[in-house]
Amino acid sequence: MSEIEKRIRQWIRPEVQAINAYHVPLSEGLIKLDAMENPYTWPETMRDEWAALIRETDVNRYPDPQAATLTQALREAMQIPGDAGVLLGNGSDEIIQMLALALALGGEQRVILSVEPSFVMYRMIAEFSGLRYVGVPLDADDFSLQPEVLLAEIAQHQPAVVYLAYPNNPTGNLFDIDVIEKVIAVAPGLVVIDEAYSPFTYASFMQRVGDYDNLVVMRTVSKMGLAGLRLGLLAGPAEWIEQIDKTRLPYNINRLTQVSASFALKHKQLFDEQTNRLRVERESLLAELASIPAVKVFPSEANFILIRLEQGDASETFDAIRAQGVLIKNLSNSHPLLANCLRVTVGTQEENAAFLTAFRRVYQP
């Protein structure tokens, strides 16, 4: 063992050494259907207006630390209740990290609880923040919540935070509202409803912020078409937001993001039209995939579709599709309940057609 390896082993926390970094695959030259992005770009007139705005934006000074203009634009665009507090983050990931920092307690390893499979960052950030993560399995057949199991785990572990993605990633389904309400009622700490995919469903808990003293709702602008800006928000009772905000680093939302997101939200109708188009494409893609033999297609309220190959090997199929120029997501080794599963982002009509052609060409059950 080298000297540097000895020092790393001595000083880097064991839980950090034990985990793998989040891997983002190279996608240059491929049709990119792996990351749940909006495939549509801005029209030229909007680009020109934005470019003129950026040209007038000085970056020699720090940005507004509270991002007041942007926060108000998000309140209006996402219909956040007026009495709710709002916290902004550099994507949802930073908000999850802020929650972990605010709730971690030296000498007592508190618990972060979520269902599985779900968004991997709940587990990763908990573990490298010194918190204990508890994953509660979803139903093996349809990825629904298992109420008795979930409520029992909450009672046993008394988690500081319960995360529920709504719709869930990577399964695409909405959980039963009655079960979620029971979770909120019995949870001793915060319940975070992660609505990253809200542009693709009518279901939301945003208007119920304030109905419960431990409910907060997390959103992002990434899926609506602004993934490159890295902007997320947390809405909830002002008392909670005030405390969590203490862990936010100064000036975490840079000036260009503030200006660009505020500008984009003035054009929200355009993004709504794009996401509505993706909803239509989703239904078409669901139907096409359901017509392919030996493929189990899971219902989706998001901008992606989860499928399970009932024959063959998902990893080999993934590689073969990639060789055809289309990048999707291989989930077959990420969780036992996702054995032989692939996930495809809903793209443009042309991108979806290219994926289907590649899939049918390489998958011959």
The more confident residue out of 25 and 354 is 354
Residue 213 sits in the same domain as residue 254: yes
Q: How far apart are CA 68 and CA 56, in angstroms?
A: 19
For 176-197, what is the mean pLDDT? 98
> What is the pLDDT confidence band of residue 9, given thresholds at 50, 70 and 90?
confident
- Domain of 286? 3-43+269-362
pLDDT at 173: 98
Q: Which of 4-13, 160-169, 200-209, 227-236 has the lowest mean pLDDT?
A: 4-13
Tell me the CATH number at 339.
3.90.1150.10
Domain assignment present for residue 56? The answer is no
**Per-residue pLDDT tens for 20-62?**
776 777 767 889 999 999 999 999 999 999 999 999 999 999 9
Domain assignment present for residue 246? The answer is yes
User: 85 is written with which tokens?
Assistant: 């507090």
For 186-202, what is the mean pLDDT? 97
pTM over 0.75: yes
> What is the pLDDT confidence band of residue 258, given thresholds at 50, 70 and 90?
very high
Residue 222 sits in the same domain as residue 354: no
Q: How far apart are CA 240 and CA 215, in angstroms?
A: 10
Residue 124 sits in the same domain as residue 11: no
Domain ends where: 267, 300, 325? 267
| Neighbouring C-alpha atoms within 13 Å toward the C-beta of 57 | 19
User: Phi/psi at 196 (nearest 5 deg)?
Assistant: -60, -30
For the chain, how many structural domains are there in total?
A: 2
DSSP for 281-326, written as a single string: HHHHHHHHHHTSTTEEE---SSSEEEEEESSS-HHHHHHHHHHTTE
The helix or strand, by DSSP H or E, that contains position 202, with its residue range, turns out to be none
